[in-house]
Structure 1
Amino acid sequence: MILLGAFFSGPPALIVQDLVRSTAEERWSLFGVAFADPWFLTLIPLAIFLTWRGSEARRVAEARVPTIGDPKLAGSASSKLVWLAPIVRMLSVLLVIVGLSRPLEGRVSTSQETEGIDIALLLDRSSSMDQRERAGGPRRFDMVKDVVADFAKRRMTDEENARDNVALFGFARYAELLVPFTLDSDALQGVLSTLDVETEQLLDGTAIGGGLMEAVDVLRGSEAESRVAILLTDGEETAHEIEPMKAAKAAVEARVRVYTVFAGPREILTRTMFGDVRRRRAEVGDLPAIAEMTGGRFFHAESQEELEDAYEAIETLERTPRKEERFAERYDLYPFLIAPALLLYLLSWILGATVGRRLP
C-alpha cells in the first residue's frame, strides 16, 4: 500500500489497487518484503550462471573469427560496452524471477479479544483464623493470604490468557468490600498485606451467607461473560442474618459460580465429660451444597500445600484463552516488476545489436 501510493494518487490509484489486490499468503519475508512463492528465488544463482556462461561463450566464439577493418576497432568505445547487454539481460531475468516469487505489500493487523473472568475473592476474617496448625507454624490467616495473593497476581497479570478483574471481600460478623474489581494487582496486594483478623468481639463471627450475598450483589452488575466467587472459611455460619443457601440461590440467579474452600483440619479432637479423647470429622456446613448448587466445586485444605492445590485446581477450571483475529490486506507487486523486465530485455537486445555487437 505504501509503495503503490508512491506511484499513484487519486482515483486511478484505487483502480490499480483493485487490479493487484492479492489473496496470497505470506510464506517468507526478507528485509521486510513478503513473498508468496519464495522458492522461485532459488533460481537466481542458476540464472546468473547461465547468463554469464552464455556471454562468455559468445565472447570466445567471436575471438576466434578475425575481424575486418581497422585494428583499432577492438579498442573502440563500442567494444568497451560489449559487457552492457549481458548485464542488462541478467537484470531482466532477475526481475522476472523475483516477480514469479510473488512479492507482496500490505498490512496485517491483529485484534485481541481479552475479556477475562470477574473473580470475587472472599476471605474469612473471624478470630478462629488466628489459629496455627502447629506450634511455631504460621497463622492460618497468614497462610491463606499468601496463597490468595499468589493466585490473584497470576490471574491479574496473565499474558497468555485473558487477564481477570479481581475483587476482594472480607467477612467476620459483617461482610465488607475491601477492593472493588480491578486489574491493578499492586493495589490488591497492598490491601492484602495489611489485612488481619477481626479482633473486636462484637464484630467477630462467621457470616458466610452475608459475605456471599455481598459478592453476588456486586457481581450482578458485572458485564463479564463468566462470574466466579471463591469463598474461603474455616468454620460454619454463626451470624445467621443471611443463610448461606439463600445466598447460594441468589448466586444461581445472577449466574455466579461459587467455589468453596474449607481451610482447617479434617478431624477435630474433643474431650468427653469423662476425660476421654474422641475424634470427629470437622463440620463444613453448607459449603459443599453451595458449590454444587452454583456449579462450582468444594475443596478441603488442611495444609498450605493442599490450599495451593485447591486454588491451582480452580485456576485450571476457570481459563479464558485469548482470541486473536488477523486481518490482511495485501497487494501483488509482480505487475510492477514484469513490465520493467520486458523493457530491460528489449534494451539488452538493442544493445546487443548495436554497441555491443562484434562484426565478424
Structure 2
Amino acid sequence: MTVFGIYLAEPLFLLGLLVLPFLLWRTVSLTGRGRVPVPREASVRALVSVRAALWWLPDGLRMLSVAVLVLALARPQVEGEETVAGEGVDIMLTLDMSGSMNAVDMSRDELEAVLEKDETPANRFLAARETLKQFIVNRSRTSHDRIGLVVFGQNAWLKYPLTLDHARLIHTLNDLVLDDGRRDRDGGSCMNACTIDGGGTAIGDALGRAFNQLRRSTAKSRIVILITDGKQTGSTLDARAIAKHIADLPPDERVRVYTFLVGGTDQVWLPDVDRFGRPLVDRDGHPVYARPRQPFPVDPELLQEIASLTGGKFYESYNEEKFKEDVQDLERTVFTAAVERPHHDRFALLVLVGLLLLAGEWVLRFTFFRSIV
C-alpha cells in the first residue's frame, strides 16, 4: 500500500491511530483536575502561570509518540535509487574501410574554412574512428564489456578479437590506414600501406566474421555495431542471409545488429588526383577536393532489414555530428546501466523518534510539570 508516495509494508497497523481520539478526549476531560492552590510567592506564581499555559505539552508529546510508534509498526519504506553496473556485453565493432570512406561530408564553405587553417578535413573514416574510440572509452568507464574489431573493404578481416584490453584496441584503431586509391606499378598493393584493399564493400563477409566471434561468446548480450557508407559489393557471403540465420536461432543464441549508414548528403567531396593517381594540391600546398564523378551506391534497405531481423536498430548518419549523436543514442538506449529502486525501511528511525518523544513527555511530567506543594 502506498500513501503520499510512501510504501507501507504493514498498513493494517494504521488502525492503531484510532486510539488517538480517545487519548485526546481523556486529556481534555481531565483538564483542571488535580490542580493545587497557587502559592503567593511571585517567582513560584510565575512558574505556575507558564506551566498552566503549556498544560497540553506532556499529553501532546504522548499522543505524538503513539502516532509515530503506530506508523513505525506500519513499516513505511522510501524508494531509493542505486545504479548497478550491468553485466558485461560482448560487442563487435565492424568498420567499413572501402575507398568511399575517404569522402568528406560538409559544405564548400566549411571545407574551405578547414583548409585555410591548414587542417585536414575529417573524412567519413576518421569521423567514425574518433567516435568509436570515444565509445570504447565510455564503455571502459561504466562496464566490463569485451569489445572486438572487424574491418572490411574488398574483403573482411578480424582485426582484434573480443577483449577487455580497451587501451590496446584503441591503439589498433589508431593504426588503421584507409586505402587512398593509389597503387604501385604492378597495380596490386596500395601505395600508402593501407590496412585493407578498399576496392569493395564486403558487408556480408564482415557480418559473418563478427557473428563467428560472438557465437562462441557466453555473454548474455551480444551486439554487432556495423558502420558503412555503401552498398554490399565484392562479398562472398550475403548479409541478408546471415541476418535471417541469426533471426532463426534460439533467443539465447541471437546477436543484435545495429547498423549505421554514414554520409549520403549531396555535399560530398573527395581528394582529387591526377591521371597518374597522385593527389593534387593547390598553390598553398592544400589538398584539392572535388565532387565525386558519380554518386556512391548505397543500400539503406539492406541495413534496415539486417537491424530489423536481428532485433537491432538502423541509424542514418548523414554527417559527422549526426553520427556522434546516433552513437550516443545507442549508448543511452542499449548500454544504460541498470537502475535498481530498493525500498529503504524507516521502522528503526521512527521507533527511535517515538521513544524520544515518550521520554520527553516523562521528563517534563516529572520535572517542570511536577505538582508544587
Please, what TM-score do these two structures have when normalized by structure 1? 0.55
Which residue number corresponds to residue 86 of structure 2?
115
Q: Distance in 1 between matches of 2:315 and 2:356?
A: 68
Out of 342, 350, 354, the position equivalent to 1:326 is 342
Q: Distance in 1 between matches of 2:329 and 2:359?
A: 64
Which residue number corresponds to residue 311 of structure 1?
327
CA separation of 1:113 and 1:200: change in aligned 2, threshold 3 A: same
CA separation of 1:95 and 1:218: change in aligned 2, threshold 3 A: farther
Are 1:260 and 2:270 counterparts?
no
Which residue number corresponds to residue 145 of structure 1?
129
Q: Count residues in correspondence.
A: 283
> Cα RMSD (Å) of the superposition?
5.2
1:68-107 pair list within 5 angstroms? 92-93=58-59, 95-96=61-62, 98-100=64-66, 102=68
Q: Distance in 2 between matches of 1:279 and 1:197?
A: 21
CA separation of 1:24 and 1:289: change in aligned 2, threshold 3 A: closer
Q: Distance in 1 between matches of 2:222 and 2:358?
A: 61
The answer for unaligned runs of 5 or more in structure 2 is: 7-13, 15-30, 116-120, 180-191, 270-291
Q: Residue by residue, what CA displacement relative to the aligned partner does 1:233-279 show, whole Å, maximum 9, x if unpaired?
A: 2344455343323432343333222222233446799xxxxxxx985
CA separation of 1:131 and 1:281: change in aligned 2, threshold 3 A: closer
CA contact (8 A) 2:151 2:158 kept: yes
Q: Distance in 1 between matches of 2:105 and 2:46?
A: 97
CA contact (8 A) 1:156 1:164 kept: yes
1:304 shift after superposition: 1.9
1:321 shift after superposition: 6.5
Q: Distance in 2 between matches of 1:187 and 1:87?
A: 78
Counterpart secondary structure, 1:102:
helix
Which residue number corresponds to residue 197 of structure 1?
178
CA contact (8 A) 1:111 1:325 kept: yes
Which residue number corresponds to residue 175 of structure 1?
157
Out of 205, 210, 215, the position equivalent to 1:215 is 210
Please, what TM-score do these two structures have when normalized by structure 2? 0.54
Counterpart secondary structure, 1:147:
helix
Give 1 or 2 for the bigger CA radius of gyration: 1
CA contact (8 A) 2:156 2:209 kept: no
1:130 shift after superposition: 3.6
Q: Distance in 2 between matches of 1:308 and 1:157?
A: 18
CA contact (8 A) 2:90 2:162 kept: no
Counterpart secondary structure, 2:93:
strand
Counterpart secondary structure, 1:242:
coil
Which letter does structure 2 place at the counterpart of 1:262?
Answer: L
CA contact (8 A) 1:91 1:341 kept: no
The answer for unaligned runs of 5 or more in structure 1 is: 1-22, 28-36, 38-53, 68-73, 270-276
CA contact (8 A) 2:156 2:206 kept: yes
Which letter does structure 1 place at the counterpart of 2:259?
Answer: T
Which residue number corresponds to residue 299 of structure 2?
284
Which residue number corresponds to residue 62 of structure 1?
38
Counterpart secondary structure, 2:341:
strand
Are 1:165 and 2:149 counterparts?
no
Q: Residue by residue, what CA displacement relative to the aligned partner does 1:132-160 show, whole Å, maximum 9, x if unpaired?
A: 457653222111123334445556657xx
Q: Residue by residue, what CA displacement relative to the aligned partner does 1:279-309 show, whole Å, maximum 9, x if unpaired?
A: 5562438434423432334444442244335
Q: Distance in 2 between matches of 1:346 and 1:278?
A: 98
1:231 shift after superposition: 0.5
Counterpart secondary structure, 2:344:
strand
